[in-house]
A and B are shown apart, each in its own frame.
Chain A
Amino acid sequence: MERTDSRSRPRSSPRRRLSLLAVSGLAIPFVLWVEARAQQPSADASLVFEDLGTQRFAIPDCIPKSGDEASREACRTLTQVLKSDLQFENLFKFVPDNLLAAIPPLNPDNPNMIDFGGINASILVVTRAQATGSDLSVEMKVIFVKSGRVMLAKRYSGKADNPRVFAHQASDDIMTLTQYRGVARTKIAFTSDRDAQANRRTKEIYIMDYDGFNPRRVTVNRSLNLLPAWSPDGRSLAYVSYRQGGPEVFLAHIYEGRSQSLTSGKDGQAFAPAFSPDGKRIAYASSRGGNMEIWVANADGTGARRLTSSPGLDTAPFWSPTGNEIAFTSDRSGTPQIYAMDSEGLNVRRVTTVGNWNDAPAWSPSKQWSEIAYTSRLDGGFEIAVKNLESGEVRQITQGQGSCEYPTWAPSGRHLAFACRRGGKWQVAVADRLGQRVQLLPAGAGNNVYPDWGP
């Protein structure tokens, strides 16, 4: 989905076909059209949120443009999801609902800034929606309360079957006013046994929205399918499948419904794929040389070569955001620990020094924070930890509620997802990068593991 930004392209009003989603394995392909149109003159660049911590958002209820139930229902979803998206970003403050309820009803065509100033709001978000048959159109204005200036005005239209998408788009558009990339339209791939038939331990690959809604199945081969890894362009997933016997790496082109083999059976087992940030190379673990080592190949699987040569088990490769280094797990020192090397396999150095079991590194994609998340064994259970590579400081993200493993960063590096065992069931959970807010996602039936947060 492309973004039309009224700040950078004020006078253009492009109608864009934003996305065609037809995930393989879906009984009903899901087609979405959204057009975005800039309606207002450009907002001044100086209006970009300067002091994020002091901004207080007022998000009054979306106002239906007609009185029909479909428009009212779309409005309810839109308000709720937009609030939830912006709260998840963990950047802003919000005017409480009881204060919003205390002022006179919003006039969407001419909001009374004195009312909103009176409840200490600095940013007002006005949304309207109209459902017409199977179509939905949504308007959003972001207004600076003090001056009354419109910072952002957007209009979206598309199919009415998933109003959440409109709210995610609106949230990401508001985030363009900050220095950070919005998270609302990102997706998380994962492995689940939810569709396993009785007595067969099959697992398939799925994707879902970042908030756990809208899960969709990708693989349909009724084998074991594990460890999905997004390509940087978000159009394909590398994953491990046993569909030909032993574990091998495949690439699923999820919007085309086809997959290709990246490693082949005669070479020994291969798993734990990870794309380089430029999408041109793929690293994985393989025993094709007789011992478990890190290998790297071109993105189509050709040109494979071995990077490590230690008698221990080397596994779980993960690229640094520059693509110049690869973190991985090795038990060469006796217990599993995180190591890093340059992408040619040289200059191996140990990263984790605290704890006797550290595994499954995920290097933050952020340019701002140089840090690696990983799984660490503490008091018998496994927890998520993050090591800051500059200060050397280690912080624990989860604690003591049952094992958590397999961290993955959101594309901004501001949030983490991982899988936790809660009440005997594995579920995907998310947290901010400091670990202050950890929440389980409503990811549906079955055990849901190995999340990979995609673009």
Chain B
Amino acid sequence: MVRRRLWGLIVLGIMVSLSFHACGGKKRPPAVAQGGSSSSYGRDASSQAPLPLDSGPDVQPIGNDNTTGSEFEASDPLTGEGGPLEDIHFPYDQAVLTEEARGILEKHALWLQNHREAKVVVEGHCDERGTAEYNLALGDKRARAARDYLLSLGVAADRLTGVSYGKEKPLDPASNEEAWLKNRRAHFTVSR
């Protein structure tokens, strides 16, 4: 009797986990990340957002644990620049994800599914206008928005760390619109 119940629990567990993967491929997560609720923002893996439960019809192919997809170029360990994941950009004084940014993040989530040993620091950056403190807060909000969207796409919380650089590490140190556009970004520093 006890043994039978145990088997039942195991089967249920497998079903739940399958339905989670199915959901990841089918359902579009909310467009704007919820800022106030993410106690998961830090490096605490245990406080991952609740997994969406959905009885989707299909099963998404999951990455092989012994993946050979580990061939990728990590970001420069000294500067944090470069790496396989392109930056996303933000409008002036805002931390909302544009349609284009969400599209890029969805590609990043797929890439991360296929490169399970990759860990990412999600950096929030700002242009030089405004004070250091305000931009550190704004960069935090940008990093959080990008990270929360990746979490909602099923990337594990312990692979994503958020850091705000405010206006302290501009990609382009020039003082013009072109440079500001480049500098209002979330950057993804990827390491193994």
Q: Which A residues have a C-beta under 8 Å from some C-beta of B?
A: 199-201, 203, 224, 226-227, 242, 245-247, 265-269, 271-272, 285, 287-292, 311, 313-316, 329, 331, 336, 357, 359-360, 375, 377, 382, 403, 405-406, 421, 424, 449-450
20 extra interface residue pairs, beta carbon distance < 8 Å, beyond A224-B169, A287-B140: A201-B169, A201-B170, A203-B168, A245-B163, A247-B163, A265-B42, A265-B43, A267-B42, A269-B136, A269-B162, A271-B133, A285-B133, A288-B42, A290-B35, A316-B133, A329-B134, A359-B134, A360-B131, A360-B133, A403-B129
- With a cutoff of 8 Å between Cβ atoms, the chain A residues found around residue B162 in the complex are 246, 269
Inter-chain contact B138/A313, CB cutoff 8 Å: yes
Nearest A residue (CB) for B164: A269
Is B8 part of the contact surface with A, judged by Cβ < 8 Å? no
| Given known A-B contacts A313-B137, A336-B130, A246 and B161 have beta carbons under 8 A apart | yes
Q: Looking at the complex, which one of A267, A272, A291, A377 makes contact with B133 (CB distance below 8 Å)?
A: A272
| B68 in the interface (beta carbon within 8 A) | no
CB distance from A356 to the nearest CB of B (A): 11
Q: Out of A226, A285, A290, A405, which one reaches B36, CB within 8 Å?
A: A290
- Determine if B132 and A406 form an interchain contact, defined as CB atoms under 8 angstroms apart: yes
Q: List 28 A-B contacts (CB under 8 A).
A: A201-B169, A203-B168, A224-B165, A226-B168, A227-B133, A245-B121, A245-B163, A246-B163, A247-B136, A247-B163, A247-B164, A265-B42, A265-B43, A269-B136, A269-B140, A269-B162, A272-B132, A272-B133, A272-B136, A285-B133, A287-B137, A290-B41, A292-B137, A313-B134, A313-B137, A360-B132, A382-B130, A406-B131
Q: Are A291 and B35 interface neighbours, CB within 8 A? A: yes
Contact among B35, B132, B140, B163 for A227, CB-based, below 8 A: B132
Complex interface: chain A residues within 8 A of B39 (CB): 289-290
Q: How far is the CB of B35 from chain A (nearest CB, A)?
A: 6
Minimal Cβ-Cβ distance residue in B for A289: B39
B79 within 8 A of A: yes
Q: How long is the Cα–Cα vector from A140 to B131 in the complex, in angstroms?
A: 44
A224 touches B168 (CB 8 A): yes
Instruction: Enumerate chain B residues within 8 angstroms of A224, measured Cβ to Cβ.
Output: 165, 168-169
The answer to whether B169 touches A292 (Cβ under 8 A) is no
Instruction: Report the minimal beta-carbon distance from A148 to chain B, rounded to whole angstroms.
Output: 54
**B187 CB to closest chain A CB, in angstroms?**
12
Mark B112-142 against chain A: 1 for CB-CB distance below 8 A, else 0.
0000000001000000011111101110110
Which of A200, A246, A285, A311 sits near B137, CB closer than 8 Å?
Answer: A285
Q: How far is the CB of B63 from chain A (nearest CB, A)?
A: 27
| Chain B residues numbered 152-169 whose CB sits less than 8 Å from any CB in chain A | 161-165, 168-169
Asked if A266 and B133 sit within 8 Å, CB to CB, the answer is no
Number of A-B contacts (CB under 8 A): 109
Q: Which residues of B contact A291 (CB under 8 A)?
A: 35-36
Task: Give the shortest distance, in Å, between A44 (CB) and chain B (any CB).
Answer: 49
- Residue on B nearest A311 in the bound complex, by CB: B36
Q: Which of B42, B131, B165, B170 contacts A316 (CB 8 A)?
A: B131
Q: How far is the CA of A268 from the CA of B141 in the complex (A)?
A: 12
Cβ contact of A290, chosen from B38, B134, B161, cutoff 8 A: B38
Assembly CA distance A382 to B135 (angstroms): 14
A57–B41 alpha-carbon span in the complex (Å): 62
Decide: A424 near B35, CB < 8 A? Known: A316-B134, A336-B134, A449-B132: no
The 10 closest A-B pairs by CB, nearest first: A316-B133, A313-B137, A246-B163, A360-B131, A292-B137, A315-B137, A315-B133, A272-B133, A359-B131, A201-B169
- Check A268–B137 contact: CB distance below 8 A: no
Asked if B66 lies at the interface with its beta carbon under 8 angstroms from chain A, I say no
* Contacting pair A315 B134 (CB below 8 A): yes
Task: From the candidates B42, B78, B132, name the one contacting A226 in the complex (CB within 8 A).
Answer: B132
Chain B residues numbered 58-87 whose CB sits less than 8 Å from any CB in chain A: 78-79
Closest beta carbon of chain B to A218's beta carbon, Å: 17
Mask: chain B, 28-41; 1 = CB below 8 Å from A; 0 = not: 00000001111101
The answer to whether residues A271 and B168 also contact, given A199-B79, A245-B121, A316-B131 and a CB cut-off of 8 A, is no
Q: Please indicate the chain A residues that have their CB under 8 angstroms from the CB of B163 in the complex.
A: 242, 245-247, 269
Residues on A with C-beta less than 8 A from B78 are: 199-200
Report the bound CA distance from A93 to B182 in whole Å: 52
Residues of chain A contacted by B106 (CB below 8 angstroms): none
A382 with B129: CB separation less than 8 A: yes
Given contacts A201-B169, A203-B168, A311-B36, contact A292 B132 (CB under 8 A): no
Chain A's nearest CB lies how many Å from the CB of B32?
A: 13
Residues 9-53 of chain B: 1 if any A CB is under 8 Å from the residue's CB, otherwise 0?
000000000000000000000000001111101111000000000
In the assembled complex, the CB of B178 is this many whole angstroms from the nearest CB of chain A, namely 16
**Residue from A359, A421, A424 with most neighbouring chain B CB atoms (10 Å):** A359
CA distance A261 to B85 in the complex (A): 32
Cβ-defined contact, B41 with A268, below 8 A: yes
- Complex CA–CA separation, A211 to B141 (angstroms): 38
Question: Closest residue to A357 on the B side, CB-wise?
Answer: B130
Asked whether any CB of chain A lies closer than 8 Å to the CB of B185, the reply is no
- Does B184 sit within 8 A of A, measured CB to CB? no
CA distance A266 to B129 in the complex (A): 29
Give the shortest distance, in Å, between A9 (CB) and chain B (any CB): 44
Interface centre among B35, B133, B144 (most CB of A within 10 A): B133
B133 nearest CB neighbor, chain A only: A316
